């Protein structure tokens, strides 16, 4: 796999006050979960050991892979950098 996007730090503050730093390109909400991920180019079969959350329509070998998940109900705040 080859990283396509730059990554940056995200501070996720949980409702219990815990702060987690996640390095990712961005995040999206999927079915009540904040999913942090990166965009990568993968070769055939290169995605078997990762959680793929999206593929680009124009290039099925370009994927968004998940790096961290947090339930929306557990998160108080998300800040970049």
What's the burial of 52, exposed, middle or buried (CB within 10 Å: 0-12/13-18/19+)? middle
Query: Which pLDDT belongs to residue 45?
Result: 63
Query: Which pLDDT belongs to residue 78?
Result: 98
pTM over 0.85: no
Query: Which pLDDT belongs to residue 22?
Result: 97
The string of pLDDT tens digits covering residues 22-79 is 999 999 998 999 999 999 988 776 666 777 877 788 887 888 889 999 999 999 999 9
What is d(CA 50, CA 36) in angstroms, rounded to the nearest whole number? 13
As a whole number of Å, the CA-based R_g of the chain is 13
What is d(CA 69, CA 81) in angstroms, rounded to the nearest whole number? 18
Give first-to-last CA distance, the chain, whole Å.
25
């Amino acid at each position: 796999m080859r990283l396509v996007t730059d990554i940056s730090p995200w501070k996720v503050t949980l409702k219990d006050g815990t702060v987690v730093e996640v390095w990712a390109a961005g995040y999206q909400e999927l079915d009540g979960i904040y999913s942090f991920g990166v965009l990568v180019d993968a070769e055939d079969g290169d995605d078997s050991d990762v959680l793929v959350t999206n593929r680009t329509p124009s290039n099925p070998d370009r994927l968004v892979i998940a790096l961290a998940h947090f339930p929306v109900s557990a998160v108080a705040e998300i800040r970049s950098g």
